[in-house]
Structure 1
Amino acid sequence: MTNTPKTALIIGASRTLGLGIAAEYLSRGWHVIGTVRGSRRTGLHDLAEGSDGRLTVETLEMTDPGQLAALCDRLAGRTVDLLFVNAAITRGDLPIGEVPTAMFTEVMVTNALSPMRVVETLGPLVTPDGTIGIMSSDQGSVSLNTEGGQDLYRASKAALNQLMRCYAVRRAGAGDVRTLLLMDPGWVRTELGGPEAELGVEESVPGVVETMESRRGKGGLEFLDHRGEAVAW
Protein backbone atom coordinates (compact mmCIF):
# COMPACT_ATOMS: atom_id res chain seq x y z
CA MET A 1 0.00 0.00 0.00
CA THR A 2 1.40 3.39 -1.02
CA ASN A 3 1.32 6.16 1.53
CA THR A 4 -0.22 9.40 0.31
CA PRO A 5 2.39 12.19 0.36
CA LYS A 6 1.83 14.87 2.96
CA THR A 7 1.17 18.45 1.93
CA ALA A 8 2.57 21.66 3.40
CA LEU A 9 1.03 25.08 2.80
CA ILE A 10 3.74 27.71 3.33
CA ILE A 11 2.70 31.34 3.41
CA GLY A 12 5.59 33.60 2.38
CA ALA A 13 7.85 31.19 0.50
CA SER A 14 9.46 33.37 -2.15
CA ARG A 15 12.94 33.69 -0.60
CA THR A 16 15.34 33.01 2.29
CA LEU A 17 13.69 31.16 5.18
CA GLY A 18 10.34 30.54 3.51
CA LEU A 19 11.97 29.29 0.32
CA GLY A 20 14.35 27.14 2.33
CA ILE A 21 11.47 25.55 4.24
CA ALA A 22 9.65 24.81 0.98
CA ALA A 23 12.79 23.17 -0.41
CA GLU A 24 13.32 21.16 2.77
CA TYR A 25 9.81 19.72 2.69
CA LEU A 26 10.19 18.85 -0.98
CA SER A 27 13.41 17.02 -0.15
CA ARG A 28 11.44 14.97 2.38
CA GLY A 29 8.94 13.85 -0.26
CA TRP A 30 6.13 16.24 0.59
CA HIS A 31 3.91 18.18 -1.75
CA VAL A 32 4.12 21.92 -1.15
CA ILE A 33 1.86 24.86 -1.84
CA GLY A 34 3.86 28.07 -1.47
CA THR A 35 2.70 31.65 -1.71
CA VAL A 36 4.43 34.70 -3.16
CA ARG A 37 3.47 38.35 -3.33
CA GLY A 38 2.59 39.82 -6.72
CA SER A 39 3.47 38.51 -10.17
CA ARG A 40 7.26 38.88 -10.09
CA ARG A 41 9.23 35.70 -10.69
CA THR A 42 10.91 34.39 -7.54
CA GLY A 43 13.12 31.58 -6.37
CA LEU A 44 9.97 29.62 -5.56
CA HIS A 45 9.05 29.58 -9.26
CA ASP A 46 12.50 28.20 -10.06
CA LEU A 47 12.08 25.55 -7.37
CA ALA A 48 8.67 24.61 -8.76
CA GLU A 49 10.10 23.96 -12.23
CA GLY A 50 12.28 21.17 -10.86
CA SER A 51 9.70 19.68 -8.51
CA ASP A 52 7.92 17.24 -10.87
CA GLY A 53 4.65 18.96 -10.08
CA ARG A 54 4.99 18.60 -6.31
CA LEU A 55 5.25 22.37 -5.74
CA THR A 56 2.40 24.72 -6.58
CA VAL A 57 2.89 28.49 -6.48
CA GLU A 58 -0.02 30.67 -5.34
CA THR A 59 -0.20 34.46 -5.13
CA LEU A 60 -1.08 36.12 -1.83
CA GLU A 61 -0.57 39.52 -0.30
CA MET A 62 -1.11 38.36 3.26
CA THR A 63 -2.19 41.77 4.55
CA ASP A 64 -5.08 41.92 2.04
CA PRO A 65 -8.15 40.14 3.45
CA GLY A 66 -9.67 39.93 -0.02
CA GLN A 67 -6.67 38.06 -1.40
CA LEU A 68 -6.68 35.76 1.61
CA ALA A 69 -10.36 34.95 1.09
CA ALA A 70 -9.68 34.30 -2.61
CA LEU A 71 -6.85 31.89 -1.78
CA CYS A 72 -9.13 30.08 0.65
CA ASP A 73 -11.70 29.71 -2.13
CA ARG A 74 -9.06 28.35 -4.53
CA LEU A 75 -8.00 25.76 -1.96
CA ALA A 76 -11.55 24.72 -1.07
CA GLY A 77 -11.84 20.97 -0.78
CA ARG A 78 -8.11 20.51 -0.15
CA THR A 79 -6.52 19.38 3.08
CA VAL A 80 -2.98 20.05 4.26
CA ASP A 81 -0.85 18.44 6.95
CA LEU A 82 1.04 21.64 7.76
CA LEU A 83 0.13 25.31 7.57
CA PHE A 84 3.17 27.47 8.18
CA VAL A 85 3.15 31.28 8.10
CA ASN A 86 6.50 32.90 7.38
CA ALA A 87 6.29 36.66 7.05
CA ALA A 88 7.67 39.64 8.95
CA ILE A 89 9.03 43.12 8.38
CA THR A 90 11.10 45.57 10.36
CA ARG A 91 11.39 49.29 9.86
CA GLY A 92 14.56 50.12 11.74
CA ASP A 93 15.61 50.46 15.35
CA LEU A 94 13.69 53.45 16.67
CA PRO A 95 12.70 54.14 20.28
CA ILE A 96 8.95 53.59 20.48
CA GLY A 97 8.30 57.28 21.11
CA GLU A 98 9.81 58.12 17.72
CA VAL A 99 7.84 55.53 15.74
CA PRO A 100 5.30 57.18 13.40
CA THR A 101 1.75 55.91 13.74
CA ALA A 102 1.69 54.67 10.15
CA MET A 103 4.86 52.65 10.72
CA PHE A 104 3.49 51.16 13.94
CA THR A 105 0.32 50.14 12.14
CA GLU A 106 2.20 48.64 9.18
CA VAL A 107 4.48 46.48 11.32
CA MET A 108 1.74 45.32 13.67
CA VAL A 109 -0.61 44.46 10.81
CA THR A 110 2.11 42.54 8.94
CA ASN A 111 3.77 40.76 11.86
CA ALA A 112 0.89 40.10 14.25
CA LEU A 113 -2.60 40.63 12.82
CA SER A 114 -2.12 39.19 9.33
CA PRO A 115 -0.46 35.89 10.37
CA MET A 116 -3.35 35.26 12.73
CA ARG A 117 -5.87 36.09 10.04
CA VAL A 118 -4.15 33.45 7.90
CA VAL A 119 -4.40 30.92 10.73
CA GLU A 120 -8.07 31.71 11.34
CA THR A 121 -8.94 31.59 7.61
CA LEU A 122 -6.82 28.66 6.40
CA GLY A 123 -6.62 26.67 9.64
CA PRO A 124 -9.73 24.62 8.75
CA LEU A 125 -7.75 23.09 5.85
CA VAL A 126 -5.32 21.44 8.31
CA THR A 127 -5.98 17.80 9.14
CA PRO A 128 -7.02 16.93 12.71
CA ASP A 129 -3.55 15.48 13.41
CA GLY A 130 -1.74 18.24 11.51
CA THR A 131 0.35 21.23 12.53
CA ILE A 132 -0.15 24.98 12.39
CA GLY A 133 3.07 26.96 12.77
CA ILE A 134 4.13 30.60 12.61
CA MET A 135 7.63 32.02 12.37
CA SER A 136 8.19 34.03 15.52
CA SER A 137 11.44 35.18 17.14
CA ASP A 138 13.14 35.16 20.51
CA GLN A 139 12.84 38.93 20.24
CA GLY A 140 9.16 38.38 21.00
CA SER A 141 10.07 36.96 24.39
CA VAL A 142 9.31 39.40 27.21
CA SER A 143 11.47 37.60 29.77
CA LEU A 144 14.51 37.38 27.47
CA ASN A 145 14.50 41.09 26.66
CA THR A 146 17.45 42.25 28.75
CA GLU A 147 19.13 44.49 26.16
CA GLY A 148 16.24 46.53 24.73
CA GLY A 149 16.28 47.95 21.23
CA GLN A 150 14.15 47.03 18.22
CA ASP A 151 11.11 48.22 20.18
CA LEU A 152 8.51 47.91 17.46
CA TYR A 153 9.72 44.61 16.04
CA ARG A 154 9.88 43.09 19.52
CA ALA A 155 6.41 44.38 20.32
CA SER A 156 4.97 42.93 17.11
CA LYS A 157 6.40 39.48 17.80
CA ALA A 158 5.25 39.58 21.43
CA ALA A 159 1.78 40.49 20.18
CA LEU A 160 1.91 37.60 17.70
CA ASN A 161 2.85 35.18 20.47
CA GLN A 162 0.03 36.40 22.69
CA LEU A 163 -2.51 36.17 19.89
CA MET A 164 -1.41 32.62 19.08
CA ARG A 165 -1.84 31.70 22.75
CA CYS A 166 -5.35 33.16 22.67
CA TYR A 167 -6.08 31.07 19.58
CA ALA A 168 -4.68 27.95 21.22
CA VAL A 169 -6.82 28.34 24.34
CA ARG A 170 -9.95 29.01 22.30
CA ARG A 171 -9.36 26.04 20.00
CA ALA A 172 -8.54 23.70 22.88
CA GLY A 173 -11.89 24.60 24.39
CA ALA A 174 -13.49 23.52 21.11
CA GLY A 175 -11.70 20.15 21.22
CA ASP A 176 -8.99 20.98 18.67
CA VAL A 177 -5.98 18.69 19.22
CA ARG A 178 -3.73 19.92 16.42
CA THR A 179 -0.14 20.88 17.15
CA LEU A 180 0.47 24.64 17.31
CA LEU A 181 3.99 26.03 17.09
CA LEU A 182 5.70 29.38 17.33
CA MET A 183 9.15 28.93 15.80
CA ASP A 184 12.31 30.93 16.49
CA PRO A 185 14.73 30.26 13.59
CA GLY A 186 17.70 31.78 15.38
CA TRP A 187 19.64 34.83 14.21
CA VAL A 188 19.81 34.15 10.47
CA ARG A 189 21.58 35.99 7.66
CA THR A 190 18.54 37.32 5.83
CA GLU A 191 17.48 40.83 4.82
CA LEU A 192 15.81 41.10 8.21
CA GLY A 193 18.58 39.42 10.23
CA GLY A 194 21.43 41.26 8.53
CA PRO A 195 24.86 40.13 7.30
CA GLU A 196 26.35 39.77 10.79
CA ALA A 197 23.88 37.07 11.88
CA GLU A 198 25.38 33.85 13.16
CA LEU A 199 23.39 31.34 11.05
CA GLY A 200 22.92 30.75 7.35
CA VAL A 201 19.51 29.76 6.00
CA GLU A 202 20.92 26.31 5.27
CA GLU A 203 21.84 25.94 8.96
CA SER A 204 18.55 27.16 10.41
CA VAL A 205 15.95 25.61 8.12
CA PRO A 206 16.64 21.87 8.66
CA GLY A 207 16.38 22.42 12.40
CA VAL A 208 13.13 24.35 12.08
CA VAL A 209 11.57 21.62 9.94
CA GLU A 210 12.91 18.76 12.07
CA THR A 211 11.59 20.45 15.20
CA MET A 212 8.14 20.87 13.68
CA GLU A 213 8.06 17.29 12.49
CA SER A 214 9.16 15.99 15.89
CA ARG A 215 6.08 17.65 17.43
CA ARG A 216 3.63 16.29 14.86
CA GLY A 217 0.56 14.81 16.51
CA LYS A 218 1.47 15.91 20.03
CA GLY A 219 -1.05 18.74 20.21
CA GLY A 220 -0.92 21.92 22.26
CA LEU A 221 1.07 25.12 21.77
CA GLU A 222 4.84 25.42 22.11
CA PHE A 223 7.35 28.24 21.50
CA LEU A 224 10.51 26.54 20.23
CA ASP A 225 13.80 27.37 18.52
CA HIS A 226 15.49 25.67 15.56
CA ARG A 227 17.25 23.27 17.94
CA GLY A 228 13.96 22.06 19.40
CA GLU A 229 14.53 23.89 22.69
CA ALA A 230 11.79 25.86 24.44
CA VAL A 231 11.95 29.65 24.20
CA ALA A 232 10.91 31.56 27.31
CA TRP A 233 7.71 33.52 26.91
Structure 2
Amino acid sequence: MASTQKHALIVGASRGLGLGLVETFLARGWRVTATQRKPSPELAALSSDALTVETADIDDDASVSALHGRIGAQAYDLIFVVAGVATQAHDPLHAVPREVAAQVYLTNAVSPIRFADAFHGTLAPGGSIAFMSSILGSVGLNEAGGWENYRASKAALNTLARSFQIRHGASGLSVLLLHPGWVRTDMGGAEADIDVETSVTGLTDVIERHLGRPGTAYLDYRGETLAW
Protein backbone atom coordinates (compact mmCIF):
# COMPACT_ATOMS: atom_id res chain seq x y z
CA MET A 1 0.00 0.00 0.00
CA ALA A 2 1.41 3.38 -1.04
CA SER A 3 2.37 5.79 1.71
CA THR A 4 0.23 8.91 2.11
CA GLN A 5 2.98 10.74 4.02
CA LYS A 6 3.84 13.99 2.28
CA HIS A 7 7.44 14.71 1.35
CA ALA A 8 9.11 18.14 1.36
CA LEU A 9 12.44 19.10 -0.18
CA ILE A 10 13.74 22.12 1.78
CA VAL A 11 16.69 23.76 0.03
CA GLY A 12 18.90 25.84 2.33
CA ALA A 13 18.03 24.37 5.72
CA SER A 14 21.21 24.72 7.73
CA ARG A 15 19.95 27.48 10.04
CA GLY A 16 17.31 30.15 10.61
CA LEU A 17 14.10 29.86 8.64
CA GLY A 18 15.18 26.80 6.67
CA LEU A 19 16.01 24.89 9.84
CA GLY A 20 12.77 26.05 11.45
CA LEU A 21 10.77 24.86 8.46
CA VAL A 22 12.38 21.42 8.64
CA GLU A 23 11.43 21.14 12.32
CA THR A 24 7.87 22.30 11.64
CA PHE A 25 7.19 19.98 8.72
CA LEU A 26 8.62 17.03 10.65
CA ALA A 27 6.37 17.89 13.60
CA ARG A 28 3.38 17.85 11.25
CA GLY A 29 4.16 14.35 10.04
CA TRP A 30 5.89 15.16 6.76
CA ARG A 31 8.97 13.39 5.48
CA VAL A 32 11.71 15.95 4.79
CA THR A 33 14.79 16.00 2.62
CA ALA A 34 16.86 19.01 3.70
CA THR A 35 19.88 20.47 1.95
CA GLN A 36 22.83 22.33 3.39
CA ARG A 37 25.68 24.10 1.59
CA LYS A 38 28.14 22.93 4.25
CA PRO A 39 27.72 20.69 7.30
CA SER A 40 25.28 22.16 9.83
CA PRO A 41 25.51 20.97 13.45
CA GLU A 42 21.98 22.28 14.06
CA LEU A 43 20.56 20.24 11.20
CA ALA A 44 22.57 17.19 12.22
CA ALA A 45 21.09 17.48 15.71
CA LEU A 46 17.56 16.88 14.40
CA SER A 47 17.19 13.18 15.00
CA SER A 48 14.31 11.78 12.97
CA ASP A 49 13.77 8.74 10.78
CA ALA A 50 11.71 11.03 8.52
CA LEU A 51 14.66 13.37 7.82
CA THR A 52 17.33 12.99 5.13
CA VAL A 53 20.14 15.54 4.91
CA GLU A 54 21.98 16.26 1.66
CA THR A 55 24.75 18.71 0.78
CA ALA A 56 24.45 20.95 -2.28
CA ASP A 57 25.22 24.49 -3.45
CA ILE A 58 22.48 26.06 -5.57
CA ASP A 59 25.03 28.40 -7.18
CA ASP A 60 26.90 25.39 -8.59
CA ASP A 61 25.17 23.64 -11.50
CA ALA A 62 27.34 20.54 -11.09
CA SER A 63 26.38 20.33 -7.41
CA VAL A 64 22.68 20.63 -8.26
CA SER A 65 23.02 18.00 -10.98
CA ALA A 66 24.77 15.64 -8.56
CA LEU A 67 22.00 16.20 -6.01
CA HIS A 68 19.41 15.36 -8.66
CA GLY A 69 21.32 12.19 -9.41
CA ARG A 70 21.09 11.18 -5.74
CA ILE A 71 17.50 12.12 -4.94
CA GLY A 72 15.78 12.95 -8.24
CA ALA A 73 13.99 9.61 -8.46
CA GLN A 74 11.78 10.58 -5.52
CA ALA A 75 8.55 12.58 -5.70
CA TYR A 76 8.09 15.71 -3.61
CA ASP A 77 4.83 17.34 -2.57
CA LEU A 78 6.75 20.53 -1.82
CA ILE A 79 10.01 21.88 -3.20
CA PHE A 80 10.89 25.00 -1.19
CA VAL A 81 13.99 26.98 -2.14
CA VAL A 82 14.83 28.94 1.00
CA ALA A 83 18.50 29.71 0.32
CA GLY A 84 19.42 33.37 -0.10
CA VAL A 85 21.94 36.05 0.87
CA ALA A 86 21.85 39.69 1.95
CA THR A 87 25.45 40.74 1.41
CA GLN A 88 25.93 44.51 1.98
CA ALA A 89 22.15 44.86 2.01
CA HIS A 90 22.20 48.18 3.86
CA ASP A 91 24.56 49.85 1.37
CA PRO A 92 23.16 51.90 -1.54
CA LEU A 93 23.70 50.23 -4.88
CA HIS A 94 26.53 52.53 -5.98
CA ALA A 95 28.50 51.52 -2.85
CA VAL A 96 28.22 47.78 -3.53
CA PRO A 97 31.02 46.30 -5.65
CA ARG A 98 29.74 45.03 -8.98
CA GLU A 99 30.81 41.47 -8.26
CA VAL A 100 28.95 41.51 -4.92
CA ALA A 101 25.80 42.93 -6.50
CA ALA A 102 25.98 40.31 -9.23
CA GLN A 103 26.43 37.46 -6.74
CA VAL A 104 23.41 38.55 -4.70
CA TYR A 105 21.34 38.56 -7.90
CA LEU A 106 22.61 35.14 -8.91
CA THR A 107 22.01 33.53 -5.50
CA ASN A 108 18.65 35.16 -4.78
CA ALA A 109 17.06 35.19 -8.24
CA VAL A 110 18.84 33.09 -10.85
CA SER A 111 19.92 30.04 -8.85
CA PRO A 112 16.48 29.34 -7.28
CA ILE A 113 14.83 29.27 -10.71
CA ARG A 114 17.59 27.11 -12.18
CA PHE A 115 17.15 24.72 -9.26
CA ALA A 116 13.38 24.65 -9.82
CA ASP A 117 13.89 23.86 -13.50
CA ALA A 118 16.25 21.04 -12.57
CA PHE A 119 13.79 19.54 -10.08
CA HIS A 120 10.30 20.44 -11.32
CA GLY A 121 9.96 16.98 -12.86
CA THR A 122 10.15 15.49 -9.35
CA LEU A 123 7.08 17.41 -8.15
CA ALA A 124 4.23 15.09 -7.23
CA PRO A 125 0.72 15.75 -8.59
CA GLY A 126 -0.99 18.26 -6.31
CA GLY A 127 2.33 19.65 -5.09
CA SER A 128 3.85 23.14 -5.09
CA ILE A 129 7.19 24.77 -5.76
CA ALA A 130 7.87 27.58 -3.28
CA PHE A 131 10.49 30.31 -3.18
CA MET A 132 11.47 32.40 -0.18
CA SER A 133 10.76 35.89 -1.41
CA SER A 134 10.26 39.07 0.63
CA ILE A 135 7.90 42.01 0.89
CA LEU A 136 11.01 43.99 -0.10
CA GLY A 137 10.62 42.44 -3.56
CA SER A 138 7.35 44.30 -4.07
CA VAL A 139 7.84 47.29 -6.37
CA GLY A 140 4.42 48.70 -5.50
CA LEU A 141 5.08 48.59 -1.75
CA ASN A 142 8.53 50.17 -1.93
CA GLU A 143 7.81 53.47 -0.20
CA ALA A 144 10.82 53.58 2.13
CA GLY A 145 13.74 52.70 -0.11
CA GLY A 146 16.83 51.09 1.35
CA TRP A 147 18.10 47.53 0.91
CA GLU A 148 18.43 48.42 -2.77
CA ASN A 149 20.33 45.46 -4.17
CA TYR A 150 18.50 42.96 -2.00
CA ARG A 151 15.13 44.46 -3.00
CA ALA A 152 16.09 44.23 -6.66
CA SER A 153 17.16 40.60 -6.32
CA LYS A 154 13.84 39.61 -4.74
CA ALA A 155 11.86 41.60 -7.31
CA ALA A 156 13.81 39.70 -9.97
CA LEU A 157 13.00 36.41 -8.25
CA ASN A 158 9.30 37.30 -8.28
CA THR A 159 9.41 38.13 -12.00
CA LEU A 160 11.40 35.03 -12.91
CA ALA A 161 9.11 32.81 -10.83
CA ARG A 162 6.04 34.11 -12.65
CA SER A 163 7.72 33.44 -15.98
CA PHE A 164 8.77 29.98 -14.76
CA GLN A 165 5.17 29.15 -13.84
CA ILE A 166 3.86 30.43 -17.18
CA ARG A 167 6.47 28.39 -19.03
CA HIS A 168 5.22 25.26 -17.23
CA GLY A 169 1.61 26.43 -17.01
CA ALA A 170 0.20 23.71 -19.22
CA SER A 171 0.86 21.26 -16.41
CA GLY A 172 -1.10 23.38 -13.91
CA LEU A 173 2.07 24.10 -11.93
CA SER A 174 1.62 25.63 -8.47
CA VAL A 175 4.19 28.29 -7.51
CA LEU A 176 4.30 30.13 -4.18
CA LEU A 177 6.38 33.25 -3.48
CA LEU A 178 6.47 33.65 0.29
CA HIS A 179 7.38 36.57 2.56
CA PRO A 180 8.38 35.26 6.00
CA GLY A 181 7.91 38.55 7.84
CA TRP A 182 10.70 40.50 9.51
CA VAL A 183 12.22 37.67 11.51
CA ARG A 184 14.83 37.59 14.27
CA THR A 185 17.52 35.65 12.41
CA ASP A 186 21.13 36.41 11.48
CA MET A 187 19.75 38.17 8.39
CA GLY A 188 16.79 39.91 10.05
CA GLY A 189 18.64 41.06 13.16
CA ALA A 190 17.71 41.23 16.83
CA GLU A 191 15.27 44.13 16.37
CA ALA A 192 12.97 42.22 14.00
CA ASP A 193 9.24 41.89 14.68
CA ILE A 194 8.75 38.15 15.05
CA ASP A 195 10.64 35.02 16.01
CA VAL A 196 11.43 32.06 13.78
CA GLU A 197 8.69 29.86 15.25
CA THR A 198 5.97 32.42 14.45
CA SER A 199 7.23 32.81 10.90
CA VAL A 200 7.67 29.15 10.03
CA THR A 201 4.38 28.15 11.64
CA GLY A 202 2.61 30.73 9.49
CA LEU A 203 4.51 29.77 6.36
CA THR A 204 3.70 26.11 6.84
CA ASP A 205 0.01 26.92 7.36
CA VAL A 206 0.01 28.95 4.13
CA ILE A 207 1.76 26.21 2.18
CA GLU A 208 -0.62 23.51 3.37
CA ARG A 209 -3.65 25.67 2.49
CA HIS A 210 -2.38 26.53 -0.99
CA LEU A 211 -0.66 23.26 -1.85
CA GLY A 212 -1.19 22.40 -5.51
CA ARG A 213 -3.26 25.44 -6.48
CA PRO A 214 -2.37 26.26 -10.11
CA GLY A 215 -0.75 29.60 -10.86
CA THR A 216 1.56 31.90 -8.91
CA ALA A 217 0.67 33.38 -5.52
CA TYR A 218 2.69 36.08 -3.68
CA LEU A 219 1.79 35.77 -0.01
CA ASP A 220 3.10 36.64 3.43
CA TYR A 221 3.36 34.28 6.39
CA ARG A 222 -0.18 35.23 7.46
CA GLY A 223 -1.61 34.26 4.09
CA GLU A 224 -2.20 37.83 2.91
CA THR A 225 -1.65 38.57 -0.78
CA LEU A 226 1.11 41.10 -1.48
CA ALA A 227 1.17 43.71 -4.24
CA TRP A 228 3.64 43.03 -7.02
How high is the TM-score relative to the length of structure 1?
0.94
User: 1:29 aligns to what SS in structure 2?
Assistant: coil
Gaps in structure 2 of 5+ consecutive residues: none
Q: CA RMSD in A?
A: 1.2
- Return the match for 1:64 from 60, 64, 68: 60
Find the counterpart in structure 1 of residue 7 from structure 2. 7
- Return the match for 2:194 from 181, 199, 214: 199
CA deviations 1:3-52 (Å, max 9, x no partner) are: 521100000011110011111110111100000112x34211111x2x1x
- Return the match for 1:77 from 73, 77, 95: 73
Give distance in 2, aligned partners of 1:11 and 1:222. Answer: 19
Find the counterpart in structure 2 of residue 232 from structure 1. 227
- Return the match for 2:174 from 175, 179, 194: 179
User: 1:14 aligns to what SS in structure 2?
Assistant: coil
- Return the match for 1:103 from 100, 103, 117: 100
Gaps in structure 1 of 5+ consecutive residues: none
| Same amino acid, percent of matched pairs | 44
User: 2:66 aligns to what SS in structure 1?
Assistant: helix
* 1:144 has 2:145 as partner: no
CA deviations 1:81-140 (Å, max 9, x no partner) are: 100000111122121122211111110111111111111101110012111000000000
User: 2:13 aligns to what SS in structure 1?
Assistant: coil
How high is the TM-score relative to the length of structure 2?
0.96
- Return the match for 1:117 from 114, 117, 120: 114
User: 1:20 aligns to what SS in structure 2?
Assistant: helix
Q: Is the Cα–Cα contact under 8 Å of residues 15 and 42 in structure 1 kept in the other structure?
A: no
User: 1:212 aligns to what SS in structure 2?
Assistant: helix
Give distance in 2, aligned partners of 1:193 and 1:41. Answer: 20
Find the counterpart in structure 2 of residue 17 from structure 1. 17
Which amino acid in 2 is paired with 1:162?
T
Q: Is the Cα–Cα contact under 8 Å of residues 128 and 177 in structure 1 kept in the other structure?
A: no
Q: Is the Cα–Cα contact under 8 Å of residues 5 and 30 in structure 1 kept in the other structure?
A: yes
Aligned residue pairs total: 227
CA shift for structure 1 position 2? 7.5
* 1:31 has 2:31 as partner: yes
Structure 1 segments (4+ residues) deviating >6 Å: none
Give distance in 1, aligned partners of 2:23 and 2:72. Answer: 24
